Chains A and B, each alone.
Chain A
Amino acid sequence: MGPLVPDIISGELNYIIALIIGIGFGFALEQAGFASTKKLVGLFYGYDFTVLRVFFTAGITAMVGIVVLSHFNMLDVSVIYVNPTFLWSTLIGGGIMGFGFIIGGFCPGTSACAAATGRVDGMAFLLGSVIGIFAFAEGYPLFKDIYLAENWGAVLMYEQLGLSREVFGIIMILVAAGAFVMTTVIENNINHKETKWFKPTIIKNSILVATPILLVLMVMITPTKTEVMNTRIDEKIAAGECNPKMMHADKLAYELMNQYYKYNVIDVRSAEEYKAFHIPTAINIPLEELHNKENLGIVLQNIKTNVFYGADINQSQRACMVSKYFGKSDNFALDLTATQFNQQYFLLADIDENASKTEAELYNFRKDAGIKLKEIEETVGNLDKPVIKKAGRVKGGCS
């Protein structure tokens, strides 16, 4: 599942990828005509709307691609970089950039392309932008307050508008298509050309616009893999087919004391709950992440016996079902919840004086088990734990 960096690709290789991606980027910009200042500025005087066409097409292509990849669980959109919104600095900075665009005739990326193809004005613009950045760095204390004001974090446009990702995507496609038609008419007027409406062209262009819309609609209509899985499991539970093997807590305690390495104890609660208390040697995979590829790798194996437990029995049974859904492994659900386990072995109340001999034996066993499990946890330490994946977003942007 993407993004491939940093888990699959890392370190130096990432720089080589940066170089290759840059080559593609530069090639695309130059082919589009973005190394020519007159072509860029044409956007603002209406004689050439190439920039708008390229820009919107590129944005829509990537946007639809992300929606589709995310739908097929191929890209984790929760970790990709989303540039944060600092309202005032974004608006003022954007305004200054717009002003610079008209006077200088480039933006940084296009000036690099212009310079690379021998345009002296592009080189001058490059020099200018380094000077501008230097001015910002030197005067930073003056701009700091405005730079850091109104920090909204990594907010998304469709969230702001209260729409779903897909609906907003379709709106953007329609806006872009409308802009393409409108700007063509304007461009022709300014260049004193007649706008002709050829039927074949209209049909061809309609198909081109309909394709991304249909892709997004398909994403909206078809359920994701996760949804399919959850529906099937719900159906099975409703049909009374949810009867995973149960493991008695005392049996688990005994087994862990003697051969903990044969068991894969999995806590399916949230990371916070796991942190507050967990059964010694247990690893944490929240239920909603259990079906992720990297987690399935831990669960689907035939060396260790899986024992799932959660905040309630339903959670642990469901975890068993998820594991069963994806492949073969030896699965058990613990017959106690995490809290019950904690009380039974670690937070024991003093035993009743009139307790029978068996009760006393059981009490002693549980008390010993608690102590011993703690020891095992300390010795084994972090040996068996999977590396906790950091949930943070990838760093990016222009800093």
Chain B
Amino acid sequence: MLKETPKKYMNPYLAGFFLGFVLLVTIYVTGRGLGASGAFKSVAIQTVESVAPTHAANTQYYVDYKESHPEGPLKSWLVFEVLGVFIGAFLSGVASNRIALKLEKGHGVRNSTRIIGAIAGGALFGFGSQLGRGCTSGSALSGMAVMSFGGIITMLAIFGMAYMVAYFFRNLWIKKEQ
């Protein structure tokens, strides 16, 4: 296969306009915004239901979820939407020659550190998205579009906290090259 150099990223304002347009169409057609963490929740719950069915049947949280989602966790709007996200991102990566199996990390960071950081960060994000009822897409971005108070304070809380702790984790990302 010919190795071509990756194309440049789209102008951020243009990409933002495009993303905003997708969001607007979503709201116009479905009355709801975009999302991501909800699909991961479906996967988590489906896993528990398959691996430990008796545990799922005896735990209130899963019982309640099952009651509100009678068709099963995977038959949800967000699961299909996130499947689309995978496809869309892949297509975009192909179009711009950016598909590559690799580990991205800050300079001088060990691979194992990066992987552990990603898992731990993911776990925190996943946990926080459940407590906060939505992540950057479902709560912050979609919430901003509909001017939801909860959405906008979620956005402020996410980015505010990230700025507050960024200094303490700078070695993960911007270690000086010397």
Which residues of A does B touch, CB under 8 Å?
A: 2-5, 9, 14-33, 35-39, 41, 43-45, 47, 50, 53-63, 65-66, 69, 74-75, 77, 79-87, 89-122, 124-138, 140-141, 143, 146-147, 152, 154-160, 165, 168-169, 172, 180, 208, 393-399
Contact = CB atoms under 8 A, between A and B. Distances in A.
Nearest to B43: A130
A53 B148 contact: no
A91 B136 CA distance: 13
B61 to A, nearest CB: 4
A85 B154 CA distance: 9
B96 A105 contact: no
A310 B109 CA distance: 74
A285 B34 CA distance: 33
Secondary structure call for the A interface: helix
Given A57-B12, A83-B143, A136-B127, A107 B20 contact: no
A2 B28 CA distance: 5
Most buried by B among A41, A92, A97, A140: A97
Secondary structure call for the B interface: helix
A21 B43 CA distance: 20
Most buried by A among B26, B40, B61, B154: B40
B126 A111 contact: no
Contact of A93 (B16, B27, B131, B143): B131
Residues of B in contact with A, size category: 35 or more
Interface string B43-86: 11101100000000001111001000000000101101111111
Contacts of B88: 22-30
Given A29-B85, A58-B141, A103-B117, A95 B128 contact: yes
Contacts of A172: 144
A9 B174 CA distance: 49
Contacts of B29: 2-5, 9, 17, 21
B47 to A, nearest CB: 7
Closest 7 CB pairs of A and B: A104-B121, A22-B84, A128-B122, A93-B132, A94-B157, A61-B20, A57-B16
Interface of B: 9-10, 12-13, 15-38, 40-41, 43-45, 47-48, 59-62, 65, 75, 77-78, 80-93, 96, 98-106, 114-115, 117-166, 169-170, 172-174
Contact of A120 (B13, B47, B102): B102
A94 B137 contact: no
Given A94-B157, A104-B120, A109-B135, A38 B104 contact: yes
B134 A397 contact: yes
9 contacts: A30-B92, A33-B12, A53-B12, A66-B24, A92-B157, A100-B121, A108-B36, A115-B86, A133-B130
B153 A90 contact: yes
Contacts of A101: 121, 125, 158, 162
Contacts of B59: 137-138
A230 to B, nearest CB: 25
A26 B99 CA distance: 14
A2 B11 CA distance: 30
B85 A22 contact: yes
Given A54-B15, A147-B131, 5 more contacts: A14-B30, A23-B88, A43-B162, A97-B128, A128-B119
Contacts of B34: 21, 25, 109
